[in-house]
A and B are shown apart, each in its own frame.
Chain A
Amino acid sequence: MKLGIDIGGTFTDFVLFDDDSNQLYFAKTLTTYPDPTKGIFNGIKELEDKFGFPVKNLDGIVHGTTLVTNAVIERKGAKTALITTKGFEDVLEIGREMRYDIYDIFLTMPKPLIPRNLRMGISERVDIQGNVVTALDQNAMQTLADTLTQNGIEAVGVCLLNSFANTKHEEAIGNFLSQNLPEVYFSLSSEIMPEIREYERSSATAMNAYVQPITDKYLKDFETQLGAAGFKGSINIMISSGRLTTIDGARKSPIHLLESGPAGGAMAGVFYGKHLKEENLLCFDMGGTTAKACIIYEGKPEITNHFEAGRVKRFKKGSGLPVRIPVIDLIEIGAGGGSIARVNNIGLLTVGPDSASSTPGPACYNLGGEDPTVTDADLVLGYLNADYFLGGEMKLSVEAARKAIENKLAKPMGITIEEAAMGVHRIVNENMANAARVHVLEKGMDPRHFNMVGFGGAGPVHSFGVARLLNTKRLIIPVGAGVTSAIGFLVSPVASEKIHSHISELKTLDWAEVNRFLAAMEADGFEFLDKSGIDKRDASIQRVVEMRYHGQGHEITINLPNGELSENDVAEIQKRFIKEYEFRYNRSIEGMLMEMVTWRVVVEGPTPEMKVKQFSTKASEQESYKGTRKVYFEQTGYIDCPVYNRYGLKANEKFDGPAIIEETESTTVIGVNTTIQVDNNKNILIDLHQ
């Protein structure tokens, strides 16, 4: 029996899988501040009371949390120092010197997580080949340690120039710190992100150190309290790449937790895909403030190594702190249920990225919000049921929504309230479809080749519109759309991710050296899995290298052939590189040398099976058809649209759209020219006819 726990900004979600009965159980509690473990135990109690599963019966818990992300955004990390090569203390603050918005002279750059007075240089230098040019100043270390103590430093990041080429100086500092200041946490850049580019490496290292003490404390509490409650199983933590690590792994590299929630959503997409035999899927997740999309290609999520945390201007690329860790490649835009719509200074309708959040919230909440939001538009259009929002727990005011749309949008544009509401709905869908389209095209793929799965609170409301814009053939609204990330936690594999920097031209590579470090990385991975009780024989190895044409600055990822490598593999590697390059850029360059830069080895345990027999819902026997209500569609205007109760849908039921399907956490909106089917697990499958 396994439990997935996902702490989000507002709610903590629980998904329990009972492998005796093959049943899934869901629960949702409010996230508690400042101690989120309270909310966890509220949920655990609810599961026990409602379904009779005590925590002591659980074999495993998989956990993901926004703790790390919030600490970075709200600047609530530990008092942290950074040790650098002397003369380079300010690299972290100077960054790349480039503006993220060229016309905004009032822009601000993100402040470094470690302020200037806590950045300390030490005399040492390694050159780009890894030769020591200036020895590490051993005498300075004690002085440095004293300064750290005097300043009450809780964590230290160490990032020396060229340390990816020679790790010795960083390791020596690490050893000194662990011997002399055992209570201080430290992060070495050569372990956190052993890659070229000093600013990006410092940024990741500083961030890791900054969040290490709070993550460590939190995980310790989490583990202890679960133990006290009688839990005896294993604990795993969800990381940004869609894989699981151990508590120890998470303590060491907490920055890998940055995107644990969204990664869970993507892994749920992988799971649904496998279940529904859909190899290529576009996952669309829309909540209160943002919408996210990611690609599942041939049953796997795309992983990128470019990520930014804590953007000072929301959704603006370049306005955050770079963290080069493996992250599921998601696009995120500022479009959620709470996104505010307005007519801008040139008379155009825009939506987001700012959000009315939960207070005052959309105008229809009647809590004082006057700005029209996406939720208001959805209500006016009849997509949402004023009396059945969050299962009826919250009453919505159609009148307030209409008034806000009329005053702020319809009148200024000289159109009807319905047209304005439809405009808001369309723009949100377009923004999302546009971002998704660019994302798919950038990978050299065609959006029409993907079916879509929609989830999140607002996802089922908008998925249909987005799917139409992308010419998607089939849209799937899975069961559990409100707790998707936690479902993903239960179907993600435990894995070790190792990185090694070794820059060399392909033709002159020292293959013996390559085989040596690849083998060492694999051995490390097996050891890690062994500690989680995973047998070597059940593990799989993925070896990739990031390559480029010699002289370029951007690498593309190539899968390495299996086994020992030698000169005999050069032709195959070249072939793979050219194929990938042509796929992305529609051309290759003849006669240009190729270069290997960063090597990555993932050793992965088996993906947990979850053979779900039947999904459980709160209600038992219910009618599916609820009657009709007035719903506005772009092509038809208001029509009497059939409304269904999702909990009452029967397996293999089939009917034609348009339709509205209501459930507690969301509402599925389906337009005309569609066929709707319900599968054995009550997933809703929508075929969109052209």
Chain B
Amino acid sequence: MQNTTTTFDPIALSILWSRLISIVDEAGTTLQRTSFSTVTRESNDFAVVLMDKKGRSIAQSSVSVPSFLGVLPILTKALLKDYFPEDTWKEGDVVMTNDPWLCAGHKPDIGIVSPIFHQGALIGFIGTIAHSPDMGGVLWGAGSRDLYEEGLMVPPTKLISEGKPNETLFNILKSNVRAADQTVGDIRAQIAANDQGIRSLMKLMEENNLTDLQDLADAVINASEKAMREALLAAPDGTYEYAYDTDGDGKGNGCHFEIAITIKGDEIIADYTGTSGAHPLSINAVLNYTFAYTAYPIKCTFSPDVPNNDGSFYPITVTAPKGCLVNAQKPSPLGARNITGNMLHSVVFGALAKAVPKQVQADCGSACWCIVLNGEHKGKEFVEYFFLNGGYGARPNMDGEHVLSFPTNVANVPIEVLETDIAVRVTEKSLVANSAGEGKYRGGLGQRFSFINVGEKSLNISLLTEKIRTPAKGILEGKDGQMGSIKIIPERDFPPKGLDKLHPGEELILTLPGGAGYGNPAERAETAIAEDKILGYIS
């Protein structure tokens, strides 16, 4: 068993590969259906990855958050190397951590990794990351001043040992977080998802007489690696540079990104030298996270059709100076690092447009805006998340879609669900005419979303916005998208990123940025302009 290698013909491999993917998708469905927070159940802010016993990803849930997919194998490899070597895992163990440097870059993202045993031997791992509704500290967002204000940090710890729950850790969690029912409920949903995945994998192994996963893992990883390398080989060699600016705090202290992407043969290197230093707001990204959100647009550009796994990442190297915005070190605050991670595709596509212009898209009206509300509703404390997306960037052959999540992939929370959960009333949700960047193909429109606190008490609010000072950048002569804006009525100052209160009767009006254009607007078809006018996308 140890010494023989099973090879898979193209037919058998095709069959087994699709089954692996359906196993993780099934686990994802379980997670979504048994979770409590709107982040997970409505917005899909989670991912499931199946890994081999070396922590290499083999298959991942299909419609998930790209950063989590990239991070899970890195986390599992680190667990094996520094915390729980291969021979220390027992059947029925579950390890939890939210250490930002090991996991997904900020404390609310909880990684749950379970070992998979077959006939008494460790054969692999299944892991989930989900954005938990709360981890204590200040309300999640950009408002924390250092790492310690961002709540509880759980280093890699066995949450369950051989089937026995670590009650101490569960109790620590319960006593540190707001709305503990939701947070702990979601962690249990993650465990349930892992268990579901393990059960399905056992069935697959049984039916196919597999004794371990190694040969299958090698086969799929090699295939994905090969596809990525071949696509890179077809792209012109060279170094492609791009610079990009973002809001930072939205009040004048912005962020600057620089990238140099080198394509050499079948390898690609992205270097962020020149990018601004750590930001005082908690929008700093750790290198794991930077890697995930740099590799993601590279994968979209070069190998979108082949299922993703560890092999897709091997030809990709990402470097950034230690301590800079995209390689944050302790104790830089990291809470809202998604704002930074969500901008990296803009930087990567900007550079790649010079190498493979037909394989990239123009800048999107991202990052996704996040709103977290905390207070009491019907006598119960709640933490309610919701997300809003801007316009999608134009493509080389078509317009951008209106209001679509990119590069993350989170759904909105339905208005009626929001109004059921908490005492707010939404007053508008509409497309913003004229907000798209012009071009041969235009960007997608942004949206306006407004709501009033109709409760009797003030709500704690954490707001994360982007592109209210810097636009989505057009490419290849395409125009920039319109910037977003924030307004509160009655009017007063409101932090674009950070914590405040929304008092009873106050209305917050959020206008999200449009996507950027692709190509020269003079080349846009007359019929397309006429149609945009009829539909009121432009006036």
Contacts and interface: CB of A to CB of B under 8 A. Distances in A.
A141 interface: no
Contact of A441 (B14, B26, B62): B26
A96 B361 CA distance: 21
B304 A104 contact: yes
Contact of A345 (B305, B415, B420): B305
B42 interface: yes
A20 B531 CA distance: 61
B41 A116 contact: no
B503 interface: no
B128 interface: no
B20 to A, nearest CB: 10
A135 interface: no
A218 B178 CA distance: 58
Nearest to A413: B10
A228 interface: no
B414 interface: yes
A117 B534 contact: yes
Contact of A109 (B308, B404, B425): B404
B63 A348 contact: no
Interface string A345-357: 1111110000000
A101 B64 CA distance: 9
Interface stretch (A191-199, A242-250, A525-533): A191-199
A423 interface: yes
Contacts of B36: 549, 551-552
Contact of A99 (B188, B388, B409): B409
B465 interface: no
A449 to B, nearest CB: 14
Interface in B380-414: 387-389, 395, 397-398, 401-406, 409-412, 414
A97 interface: yes
A680 to B, nearest CB: 36
A90 B15 contact: no
Nearest to B454: A127
B428 A88 contact: yes
B389 A105 contact: no
Given A87-B428, A97-B405, A102-B62, A589 B415 contact: no
A299 to B, nearest CB: 27
Interface in B444-468: 447, 450, 454
B44 A89 contact: no
B35 A552 contact: yes
A585 B34 CA distance: 8
Contacts, number: 196
B487 interface: no
Contact of B11 (A97, A133, A423): A423
Contacts of B411: 96-98
Nearest to B60: A102
B10 to A, nearest CB: 5
Nearest to A318: B63
Interface string A368-411: 00000000000000000000000000000000000000000000
A116 B537 contact: yes
Interface stretch (A171-179, A430-438, A671-679): A430-438
Interface string A104-144: 11111100000111000000010110000100000000000
A503 interface: yes
Interface in B259-290: none
A415 B224 CA distance: 22
Contacts of B214: none
A551 B63 contact: no
B414 A97 contact: no
B14 A349 contact: yes
A343 interface: yes
B420 A438 contact: no
Given A127-B419, A128-B420, A161-B416, A349 B11 contact: yes
Given A96-B412, A98-B405, A103 B299 contact: yes
A530 to B, nearest CB: 35
A551 B182 contact: yes
Contact of B430 (A87, A99, A115, A343): A87
A88 B289 CA distance: 36
Nearest to B433: A116
B228 to A, nearest CB: 10
Contacts of A219: none
A662 interface: no
Interface in B1-28: 9-11, 13-15, 17-19, 22, 26
Contacts of A128: 416, 419-420
Given A98-B405, A348-B10, A133 B22 contact: no
A109 B185 CA distance: 33
A231 B34 CA distance: 53
Interface in A579-593: 584-587, 589, 592
B192 interface: yes
A98 B414 contact: no
A162 interface: yes
Contact of A116 (B200, B428, B454, B535): B535
Nearest to B304: A103
A7 B381 CA distance: 55
A507 to B, nearest CB: 13
A413 B188 CA distance: 46
A442 interface: yes
Contact of B63 (A90, A100, A587): A100
A563 to B, nearest CB: 30
B299 A90 contact: no
A585 B192 contact: yes
A166 B230 CA distance: 59
A93 interface: yes
B167 to A, nearest CB: 14
A169 to B, nearest CB: 15
A509 to B, nearest CB: 15
A349 B10 CA distance: 6
Contacts of A161: 415-416, 426
A251 B417 CA distance: 31
A553 interface: yes
A638 B290 CA distance: 56
Contacts of B41: 552-554
A168 interface: no
A220 B416 CA distance: 38
B414 A199 contact: yes
Contacts of A554: 32-34, 41
B90 interface: no
Given A108-B401, A554-B33, A345 B306 contact: yes
A346 B219 CA distance: 11
Contact of B431 (A93, A98, A413): A93
B66 interface: yes
Interface in B309-365: 360-361
A300 interface: no
Given A99-B405, A431-B18, A441-B200, A197 B192 contact: no
Given A93-B402, A348-B10, A554-B33, 20 more contacts: A93-B431, A98-B44, A99-B406, A101-B62, A102-B64, A105-B304, A115-B534, A116-B431, A196-B416, A318-B63, A346-B306, A347-B10, A348-B17, A350-B14, A413-B10, A423-B11, A434-B19, A553-B35, A586-B192, A589-B185
Interface of B: 9-11, 13-15, 17-19, 22, 26, 29-30, 32-36, 38, 41-42, 44, 62-64, 66, 181-182, 185, 188, 192, 195-196, 200, 203, 223-224, 226-227, 230, 299-301, 304-306, 308, 360-361, 387-389, 395, 397-398, 401-406, 409-412, 414-417, 419-420, 425-431, 447, 450, 454, 534-537
24 contacts: A90-B429, A94-B402, A97-B410, A98-B410, A99-B406, A99-B409, A101-B62, A103-B300, A103-B308, A115-B534, A116-B537, A197-B417, A345-B306, A348-B13, A348-B14, A415-B9, A423-B11, A435-B22, A438-B26, A441-B203, A549-B185, A551-B182, A554-B34, A585-B196
Q: Which 10 A-B pairs have the closest CB atoms?
A: A553-B41, A87-B428, A423-B11, A98-B411, A554-B33, A103-B304, A96-B411, A551-B36, A348-B14, A128-B419
